[in-house]
Amino acid sequence: MSSGSQTAEKGHAVRFEIVNLDFFYGAKQAVFGLNMKVPTNKVTALIGPSGCGKSTFLRTLNRMNDTIRNTRVKGQILLDGNDVYQIDSVRLRRRVGMVFQRPNPFPKSIYDNVAYGLRVNGFKGRLSDLVEQSLRRAALWEEVKDYLHKSAFALSGGQQQRLCIARALAVDPEVLLLDEPCSALDPVSTAKIEELMFQLKDSCTMVIVTHNMQQAARASDYTAFMLDGHLIEHNETSKIFTTPKDPRTEAYITGRFG
């Protein structure tokens, strides 16, 4: 088992290395020979048209696809040099948290939503301190600190999504996967979450799938463009959106696609 992190281009530490990844839903191949290094403590955005495989790829990173019947993975997904299939899936999903498109808080209080993961993982310490810390990291504390025992469903959509982020952060993951986290939210909530991602990335690697290119441009350090299950181009966001190398990338980001 290799330990430590490899180095991507430009000397950045690497959190995930994906090697020749193929993914199949039954007989249908959805991801073809994908190779990528995800830099540590940066935001990487996955963009591409519907059906390009970006969400499928995202879900391989914490083996969420295992819950879907008849799927097959070939190739390697290495988290800090360790194959994710050699790590217990529950432990993996604690280290690699996920936030989904529709906010999905538990039918519990705000406090219990955040505390749940800690209790289940047998956390020993002052629970309320960690709940507060997670809510602060998710930029939600000031709005809910006097209502921690209110139901999570009393919150607005944007607040619920930030609660889901706090819940994921509570178990101190190394990585946060976000699958179109803002597509159900209004522009102000979206801006708050993008700003939150900017604050968080110093302590957490993030991979975000977004169909909103402008969000990828605003919020990410690296962008990967996928098409028909293939990774077409992967580079610093500033380079992708000013001087993309591949004409297909250029066609997509300038809206001339199709």
Token pair listed for 22: 């193929």
Which residue shows structure tokens 């990528």? 36
CB 217 to other proteins: min, Å: 5
Collapsing DSSP states into helix, strand and coil, what is residue 207? strand
- Name the residue among 244, 196, 243 with its Cα closest to residue 218: 196
Contact partners, residue 62, CB within 8 Å, separation at least 6: 84, 92, 93, 96, 97, 98, 175, 177
Which residue in the set 242, 245, 247, 254 belongs to the binding site for other proteins (CB under 8 A)? 242
Selected from 23, 111, 241, 252, the binder of other proteins by CB under 8 A is 241
Distance from C-alpha of 147 to C-alpha of 155, rounded to nearest angstrom:
10
254 is a site residue for other proteins (CB under 8 A): no
Instruction: Assess 186 for contact with other proteins (CB under 8 A).
Output: no
What tokens were used for 174? 């190394």
Asked if 237 interacts with other proteins (CB under 8 A), we say yes
Upper half-sphere CA count for residue 130 (Cβ side, 13 Å):
19
Count of positions on this chain that bind other proteins (CB under 8 A): 12
* C-beta closer to other proteins: residue 77 or 206: 206
- Give least dist CB 199 to other proteins, A: 8
Choose, by CB under 8 A, the member of 63, 108, 211, 218 that binds other proteins: 218
192 binds other proteins, rule: CB under 8 A: yes
Site membership for other proteins, residue 198 (CB under 8 A): yes
> Which residue type is seen at 188?
V
Q: Which residues make up the interface to other proteins (CB under 8 A)?
A: 188, 191-192, 195, 198, 214, 217-218, 237-238, 241-242
